[in-house]
Amino acid sequence: MPNTWEKITPNTIYQVFKALPLTQEGKDGLLYLYQPIIGAQALALYFQFLGDEADSNESEFIHLDCLNALNIGLSPFLEARKRLEGMGLLTVFEKEDPEFGKMYLYQLEEPLVPQKFIKDVTYSFLLHQAVGERKFKQLTRRFKPKKMNIADYQEVTANFTTVYGNLDLNLFSRTSDQLEKVAKEYEQAKESGLKVDSTQLDWHFLMELANKKFISKTNFTSDFKAQLTVYANLYGYNELELVDDLLVQVVALDTGLVDARQLKQFVERKHQTTFQRPSMQPVSEEADVRRFNLLRQTGYSEKDIQLIKLSEKTAPYDFLEAIKVEKKSYVTDSEKWLLKSLVERSPLPNSVINILIHYVLVIQDNSTLQPNFVNTIATNWSEKGFQSPETAIQYAREFVKESKEKQAAREQVKNTRPNNYSRPPIRKETLPDWAIKPKVTEENPEKQAEINQRLQAYLKRKEGES
């Protein structure tokens, strides 16, 4: 309960209880599915409690020992505990002991097995929000139940009666009371689920709004309410927005029913930041000739124009792969996902992304595309509104030149300064973050031309193979 948080002190006693040992499937669920949502400290706290519960020598513990074991303070402990409670992994009880004061009982709940976790739209939504599309797909593939193609087979399984015969009904009736008593001892409480405060929404008002939009009341099960409450918490929806902005968009008009998975997918699409790239309008050959002649007149070399043409007709992955092949290297997994993110999320056209790749790997002569470095450049170029490869080339060239001049000026001041007492005040220049320590590389036109030529040859070969 929220009002008990301040009552815990490091010397407060607690006990831990778990009805059954943690299963391997439950452990997998904790490590791979719950952990991205609850965080590392909450996961560590669950296993700390699990270790306490397994201690056959002690039944009572003080919070101080738990805090020391996890190397955290009381505030992070309470936050981690709250996260476990909210995800249905921990139930907390308290009592007032006449001798020891406030005492707590922490009841560990069995995590949902991966298949049930992913099947639940609310859990899977939270996981998707925590890990992103790529990792979410990877996890769902990992825990997807195996299926066997039995189309060519016919089932010939023997039934119970054939193998064991009929039950002795007289004997069964004489022992039924004892068997029922044993069965009751094995009854488990209902699986603990997400702890969401559904009272924050006015359900009577929300369902009245839904009814006016021909959305059936049968949709509003406890699970469906929990799903809507999660959306209200994450995105700040009120009752009117939940109905008009979400439910109306996915309701089946003939039945008034809302498919929970379809709703989840709609919300994910609605809140995924992507840029819609304008479709490239076909340019006449004559316009192309005029454009490139103008570029030549304004100082672009034939090598630049060759690179511009190459960047405009090549997909970013093929462009990256071609450069890597010519550098006798390969495209790493992190580079694949970085490129996918750039193409999907940044407003830069593919041709500018290709120039960025060329700048980092050829001009700067880096071995790989480092995500932080590349994303900062891409953000800088996006803010400047680069939409053509020639603009990116010109900016990168001017930046390298300016950086070299500033470095040379600093060296000159350093070498000509007579002593520290006559040091002039230094005016600090404001540069983009990615430019604070630029790698000032002397341009090697011959080397770049060679790479560009081999790059073009490789792409032509690849095009021919496909």
**C-alpha–C-alpha distance, residues 83 and 92, integer Å:** 12
The model's pLDDT over 181-197, given as tens digits with 9 standing for 90+, comes to 787 776 655 555 666 56
Q: Which two tokens stand for residue 373?
A: 């470095």
The model's pLDDT over 370-409, given as tens digits with 9 standing for 90+, comes to 888 888 888 888 888 888 888 888 888 887 777 777 777 7
C-beta pairs of 94-103 under 8 Å, 24+ apart in sequence:
94/1, 94/4, 94/7, 97/13, 100/13, 101/12, 102/4, 102/7, 102/8, 102/12, 103/12, 103/13, 103/14, 103/15
Lowest-pLDDT range of 101-110, 155-164, 412-421: 412-421
Q: Calculate the dihedral angle through the C-alpha atoms of 219, 220, 222, 227, rounding to the nearest 10 degrees.
A: 80
Q: Which two tokens stand for residue 260?
A: 């929970």
Which pLDDT score is estimated for 464?
58
The helix/strand/coil state of 54 is coil
Angle 374-375-377 (CA atoms, 0-180°, nearest 5)?
Answer: 65
Rounded to the nearest 10 degrees, the angle between the axes of helix 302-313 and helix 445-465 is 30
The contacts of residue 103 (CB under 8 Å, 6+ apart) are: 12, 13, 14, 15, 94, 95, 96, 97
Which pLDDT score is estimated for 2?
44
CB neighbours (10 Å) of residue 393? 23
**C-alpha–C-alpha distance, residues 83 and 90, integer Å:** 9
Check whether 150 has a pLDDT greater than 90: no
The model's pLDDT over 396-444, given as tens digits with 9 standing for 90+, comes to 888 777 777 777 777 776 666 555 444 445 444 444 444 444 454 555 5
The helix/strand/coil state of 346 is coil
Helices (H), 213-349: 222-235, 239-241, 248-250, 260-270, 285-297, 302-313, 316-326, 333-345
Backbone angles phi, psi at 111, to 5 degrees: -65, 155
Which pLDDT score is estimated for 416?
63
User: Which amino acid, 85?
Assistant: E
Residue in the block written with tokens 């304004």? 298
Distances in whole angstroms, Cα of residue 353 to Cα of each of 169, 246, 303, 335, 393: 77, 35, 18, 13, 11
Tell me which of 402 and 126 has the higher pLDDT.
126
Cα 396 to chain centroid distance, Å, stands at: 32
Which pLDDT score is estimated for 104?
94
The model's pLDDT over 109-120, given as tens digits with 9 standing for 90+, comes to 999 999 999 988
